[in-house]
Structure 1
Amino acid sequence: MASKAEGRRARKNQFGVKGGVIPPSSQVIHFSPAQWEEFIEAACRLRPLEGLVRYAFVKRLGGAGDGGRDVEARLDTTLTQDRWDLYQAKHYATGLTPTNAFPELAKFFQQLEAKTYPRPRYYLFCAPKGVGNDLGNMINNPSEFKRRFLSDWRQGKTGFKGRSAELTAPLAKLINEFDFAKIRECQTRDLIEWHALDRSAHHELFGMEAQRQNDPDAPASLSPDEHVYVEQLLKAYGEQCGQLLTSDDVMAPGRYQEHFQDQRTLFYCAEGLKIFSRDLYGEEEFDDLLAMVRKGIRPLVNSPSLRTGLERLDKGTSEVSKLRVDDSVLASKLRPGDLPGTCHHLVNRGQLSWVK
């Protein structure tokens, strides 16, 4: 049976919806068409691709003269046939229908015939409420999709008028040769998932609140990750008492036991902050916070007026909580032991020392 402490460690930091804020899947329904295109562009920049880390180039083109492509996402830096994806943004209050989709597809095929751009790898419809049943069934049956599209165009159901409505023989040939399996739905939940890979931007856009769970407790036995800062503590204690001390000495009942365990508790408070940063923002945010602390605390710790390692330790861990670290994204989630604990993390990285 798991202990209480193990149960706390098992809980994962996460983003939660602030009070009064609706979930992202509901918020995107209220975006303007331009905001929807911008959101798709941002999500595509972060989309993980099989065999690639990201798209090589992503650009929003929505508006007049876009040639029927709202967002262009390339697998290579150059625009090459079958090496880019076309994202078509359609923002409607209901699911996308053939009536909504066919005019865009007609424009797309006219641009392919005019060689405005090469054939894409995929043509992706993006709609906040997805595609409706009729269009969805066609997407799942490419041959029927093609037949219905050509039939509707011949019956004048594309929404075009005049010469632009004409389905010429070369255009019909191009459409017949096109693989309609390349026309797909890009689901809103996928766009949200990709966008969430930039945790800070996702948090900012949707009003998501970072929720920090309980910090890990200091384990009964020393972890290999504690080696460097513990050695510095042992040197500081040894300097004061005039003899070499081991970790067993200070973990046993005696003069230094409580102080040593308190320092380990501080280390694990900051370890909890490090895990929180890693889970929601990336470890670089914790690294940036350590850099702020180092700049602020080193001049105090290195003061010539401090003669012993314990004096430097006490000065550093007591004064560090007075530092202003408002520029850090982690600032709003700091707990009382976090900043003192970062001192031990700096020692662990060789960027601070108590005994000279």
Structure 2
Amino acid sequence: MIGVGELREITPVGTPSTVTAAHVTSGLPMPKPVRVKIFSPDEWEQFVEEYGASLKSDYTQVRRFAGAGDMGVDIAGFITDQGFVGGWDNYQCKRYDHPLRPSDVWVELGKIIFYSFNGEYTAPQKHYFCASQDIGTTLQRLLADPAKLKQKCREEWADKCASHITDTQTVALEGDLLTYFDAFDFSIFSSKSALELIEGHSKTQFHAVRFGGGLPPRPAHLPPPDEPQKHESRYIRQLLDAYGEHANVEYADLPALVANAAMHGNFLRQRERFYHAEALRNFARDTVPEGTFANLQEEIYQAVVDVCDTDHANGFNRMAAVVTQAASVSSTSNPLSPATNVQDRQGICHQLANDDRLQWIVKP
């Protein structure tokens, strides 16, 4: 019989003292490796595709292969522009309900050996096994011992490889194939842990949307270059025309504007804002899915276009009214919202003017 002294008071540890409003709304965040483990088949496929995008900076070309006839190739990273004829690496990505075991990979080793022997491709320089449930300890030890991996693969060939490499024939490990097998470098086979996959994925624009946790810190804003660049020409021309209409003079170029201290000071502020928006565009390219920044531009456009179309005394007043309106826009639904400031929203107006979507001078 259980004594009273064996019972203890219920004292939940509770959650960390640094809880936020987001925790109350959504609960404590799920660790990323745990999230990967519970990905649905579709989510895993999307994650693998997104991870593949992180490899593009490491290779001349990255391609994904799928279907029954993939010949053991999943994600191929080509080191040269010669494809499978040149050097390449293979990333074999598996989704199972358990950590990857030796029994899960024998046929994959067999495919690489058989198809490279047949000349379908040269053997990869590296072959990485990647798995949603990570790599099991037994397989990890085998991958760290190429000689033992080769020995075990040879022992398992008849049962796990011969009838499973292709549907069209039984692949016996004998003759020239056996000679090729014996000479094959098994040190090419290794693995990527789930944490390594997540780290690679974190370098893509898909990471924040896939895992949450907010955007990475935005790099410090660099000042505009002293000399205007070619890609600035249209919005600068629009500004010069707007200043000229306001002052009732013609500013043919920027040196002509310098004499008007007030207008030149305004120009420097507008150019600073343009570069703020350009920096946000670059940040968006690396941190959020394609089209996110364009959607933000469209939100700003819709918020200011009616102000732009309203009657104004001159082009300068129209431009000033538009950028003032942009400063008050709250684009909370856009994923870039946490990283967007007033200067960005105002600078987007000049990006829109650069594309002639906004025009400061109304043509009769």
TM range (shorter): 0.5 to 0.7
Q: CA deviation at 1:150?
A: 3.7
Q: CA deviation at 1:340?
A: 1.7
AA partner of residue 286 (structure 1): F
> Where does residue 212 of structure 1 map in the other structure?
218
* 1:33–1:236 Cα change, 3 Å: closer
Native 8 Å contact 1:277 1:286 kept in 2: yes
* 1:252–1:215 Cα change, 3 Å: farther
Tell me, in whole angstroms, the C-alpha distance in 2 between the residues paired with 1:278 and 1:33.
Answer: 27
Q: Tell me the SS of whatever aligns to 2:129.
A: strand
Q: Tell me the SS of whatever aligns to 1:126.
A: strand
Native 8 Å contact 1:235 1:244 kept in 2: yes
- Counterpart among 294, 297, 300 of residue 293 in structure 1: 300
* 1:175–1:261 Cα change, 3 Å: same
Native 8 Å contact 1:237 1:256 kept in 2: yes
> Where does residue 264 of structure 1 map in the other structure?
271
- Indicate whether 1:223 and 2:222 are aligned: no
> Where does residue 15 of structure 1 map in the other structure?
none
> Where does residue 314 of structure 1 map in the other structure?
320
- Counterpart among 233, 246, 249 of residue 240 in structure 1: 246
Tell me, in whole angstroms, the C-alpha distance in 2 between the residues paired with 1:109 and 1:247.
Answer: 66
> Where does residue 185 of structure 1 map in the other structure?
190
Q: Which moves more between the two structures, 305-314 or 275-284?
A: 275-284
Q: Supply the RMSD in Å over aligned alpha carbons.
A: 4.9
Q: CA deviation at 1:274?
A: 2.2
Q: Tell me the SS of whatever aligns to 2:312.
A: coil
* 1:50–1:190 Cα change, 3 Å: same
- Percent of aligned pairs with the same amino acid: 20
* 1:23–1:291 Cα change, 3 Å: same
> Does 1 or 2 have the higher relative contact order (CA < 8 Å, sep 6+)?
1
* 1:248–1:23 Cα change, 3 Å: farther
Native 8 Å contact 2:51 2:204 kept in 1: no
| Deviation digits for residues 17-46 of structure 1 (CA, Å, limit 9, x no counterpart) | x9976874x556865796995476335653
Give the count of matched residue pairs: 308
AA partner of residue 57 (structure 1): F
| Deviation digits for residues 127-177 of structure 1 (CA, Å, limit 9, x no counterpart) | 565565x755754664542224445x59x9x9x9xxx9xxxx974536775
Native 8 Å contact 2:41 2:95 kept in 1: no
> Where does residue 283 of structure 2 map in the other structure?
276
- Indicate whether 1:145 and 2:149 are aligned: yes
| Deviation digits for residues 304-324 of structure 1 (CA, Å, limit 9, x no counterpart) | x22411221122112234445
**TM-score normalised over the length of structure 1:** 0.63
Native 8 Å contact 2:353 2:359 kept in 1: yes
Native 8 Å contact 2:62 2:75 kept in 1: no
| Deviation digits for residues 229-267 of structure 1 (CA, Å, limit 9, x no counterpart) | 232222222212222235335445734243333323322
Native 8 Å contact 1:269 1:337 kept in 2: yes
Native 8 Å contact 1:234 1:247 kept in 2: yes
Q: Tell me the SS of whatever aligns to 2:335.
A: coil
Q: Tell me the SS of whatever aligns to 1:351.
A: coil
> Where does residue 129 of structure 2 map in the other structure?
125
- Indicate whether 1:353 and 2:354 are aligned: no
| Deviation digits for residues 271-295 of structure 1 (CA, Å, limit 9, x no counterpart) | 3322322332377533332233334
**TM-score normalised over the length of structure 2:** 0.62
> Where does residue 254 of structure 1 map in the other structure?
261
* 1:58–1:292 Cα change, 3 Å: farther
Q: CA deviation at 1:327?
A: 4.6
